[in-house]
């Protein structure tokens, strides 16, 4: 996972918090792209008109200018497309990070629940061990009483001299 600057993280959060903002930005880029295409088409139409009305040297000069402007427009369109792709990549990265954070939070909750169950089981085990020790003491005491009682019975059954 890439380390992002606070500004990028804040931007990603803003985009995730407001998908409509992201859509508006995409729509703005698409509108700019349409406008650039329209300008290009108007340029082509104007160039055709100019060719008809001017001599060859002027036509060559205008063609060169047109090609330069067309090249600039193509570069601008490429930049818009790259920006659009970059924003989509940022959105996808932010979505993956959000999914990872959610999964981490869920795992943490499950781990906490498991720890609570383990503590509860350990407490139950300690209680059972205490009960077993208490019962062992009771059994030991009863064995002693039984031994004494058996000895008394034995003493009673022996003839007294």
Report pLDDT digits (tens) over 114-123.
Answer: 999 999 999 9
Whole-number Cα distances in Å, 153 to 64, 118, 142, 147, 156: 130, 51, 16, 10, 5
125 against 55, higher pLDDT: 125
Eight-state DSSP code of residue 127: H
User: Over 70: is that where the pLDDT of 59 sits?
Assistant: no
pTM score, whole prediction: 0.38
Q: What is the pLDDT of residues 16-49, one digit of tens each?
A: 667 777 777 778 888 988 888 898 888 888 887 7
Q: What is the pLDDT of residues 3-15, one digit of tens each?
A: 557 777 676 666 6
């Amino acid at each position: 996972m890439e380390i992002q600057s606070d500004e990028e993280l804040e931007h990603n959060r803003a985009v995730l918090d407001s998908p409509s903002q992201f859509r508006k930005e995409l729509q703005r880029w698409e509108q700019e792209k349409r406008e650039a295409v329209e300008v290009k088409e108007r340029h082509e139409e104007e160039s055709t008109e100019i060719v008809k009305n001017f001599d060859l040297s002027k036509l060559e000069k205008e063609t060169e200018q047109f090609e330069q402007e067309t090249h600039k427009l193509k570069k601008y369109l490429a930049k818009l497309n790259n920006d659009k792709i970059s924003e989509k990549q940022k959105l996808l990265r932010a979505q993956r990070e959000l999914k990872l954070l959610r999964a981490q939070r869920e795992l943490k909750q499950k781990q906490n629940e498991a720890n609570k169950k383990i503590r509860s089981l350990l407490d139950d085990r300690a209680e059972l061990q205490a009960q077993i020790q208490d019962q062992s003491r009771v059994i030991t005491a009863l064995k002693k009483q039984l031994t004494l009682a058996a000895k008394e019975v034995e003493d009673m059954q022996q003839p007294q001299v």
